Amino acid sequence: MLLGEYEGIKAMRDTDTIGVPSPICIRVDSPPFFAVYSYLNLSFAGDEFEKGRRLALMHRCLSPNSMHGFHVPNTIGDTPQDNAWSRGWAEFYVERRFKAILSMCNNLGYNREEVEKCAGVIAEELTDHDPEPSLLHGDLWGGNSGYADGEPVIFDPATYYGDREADLAMTYLFGGYGEKFYEGYESEWPIEEGFERRKTIYNLYHISNHYLMFGGMYYNQARQMFESILNNAPKKKN
């Protein structure tokens, strides 16, 4: 967990696009385990347009090997994430995210055939979309961003290279981002057609993870998203 976060922070820091807590040192080979970062004098009010613009600039930073994944595994919350490299985004997302989290959630009560059917819809959508592998924060809910000395910052990542829309999708969960943030983002890199469908695909991962960690209402919400993906699959062309 410490190493995954540390390497993610380093990767984002090295883009020189948006603020992060600077990584100072880490020890994971023997106890006591720790990671040390620079202190951020945080506030949660600032220039949302600039935060969105700088996130888009970070997303412009692509995988050094043109593959989706990351060079170390990490965690989202306390849930393990397998980031083994994959050339195809559809393969990476279906296997390393969708199927992985559903397996931890006892498939949300669906049987194997239903899961495979949904996986097929997702794979077709993401294959047609075929995004470049952008550097992602990976856990970009509102509580993981803010401002330090007036500059936009992000922190507490679950970093990997993948579809930039996966980061954007999560900003719509739980609040924390306003209209100016999205205007700033699109001023640098406009969103592509079909994002609304893919937003549900990507956020199913996070809502399923919340069910895994917290239970309760997230179970029904995850199932509703699962059904929405199946019911809103694009019609196949003749």
Q: Is the peptide bond before 23 cis (omega within 30 degrees of 0)?
A: no
139 tagged catalytic: yes
Instruction: For residue 159, give both structure tokens.
Output: 């970093």
pLDDT at 237 over 80: no
Catalytic residue, from 29, 78, 128, 139: name it: 139
Domains of the chain: 2-231 (3.90.1200.10)
What DSSP designation does 127 have?
H
pTM above the 0.75 mark? yes
* Cβ partners under 8 Å of residue 43, min gap 6: 146, 147, 148
Q: Kindly report, residue by residue over 201-228, the tens digit of the pLDDT.
A: 999 999 999 999 998 889 999 999 999 9
pLDDT tens digits for 7-56?
Answer: 999 999 999 999 999 999 999 999 999 999 999 999 988 999 999 999 99
Torsion sign, CA atoms 83, 141, 102, 56? negative
Residue 164: pLDDT band (50, 70, 90) is very high
